[in-house]
Structure 1
Amino acid sequence: MIDIISINRQFLIMAREVANSKSGEIITGLPRPVLDRLATLSLDQIEAIAQGVGVSLITFRLSEAELTRLTALQEGQRAAYSLAVVASEGR
């Protein structure tokens, strides 16, 4: 089982890698200022954050209704629907 430290570490590294892309905000759900700051962090700094926060840094971005709709869609439609929902929220 993956622990919260590993999940946070992987998320922060992924966010740092996409921080300078145009789609970084949509991919991660993080605001531009946070992505800009993550882009400057070293792996040691990311590791310290991952180990020190004690809570998940990932949040679920779909409402209950959106999740219900997502589960009703066919597999090929899920990614497009999720992207449309997230993009429509101005992320």
Structure 2
Amino acid sequence: MALFVDETKLVQRPTIDEDEQMEYGYMITESQKDGKTVTIRWWHPVKVKEKLGEIRKITGVVKKIDTSNRRIRVENMHDSVWIDVAKIVRVSTN
């Protein structure tokens, strides 16, 4: 992850409709169950007061779904990250 943030690229948190959420949930579950690689983009808050953040991305396999804390763990050869499910803005298969 970058240490410095280009403030011109900060965005408000995108709104995801219910159908997209369900589709993303299916892809996340399949990744964990079958080891399928997915690319996940999520909104990460940078300027909380202004409600601005950046869109981050990781490509890997969902290794854990933590339903009680509403987050997932995605891993690849170089990184491992917990992602808040509510902040996911896009999931795609590779």
Fold in common (TM above 0.5): no
TM-score, normalization: structure 1? 0.36
User: Structure with the greater relative contact order (CA < 8 A, sep ≥ 6): 1 or 2?
Assistant: 1
> Could you state the TM-score of these two structures normalised by the residue count of structure 2?
0.35
Structure with the bigger percentage of strand: 2
Which structure shows the higher helix fraction?
A: 1
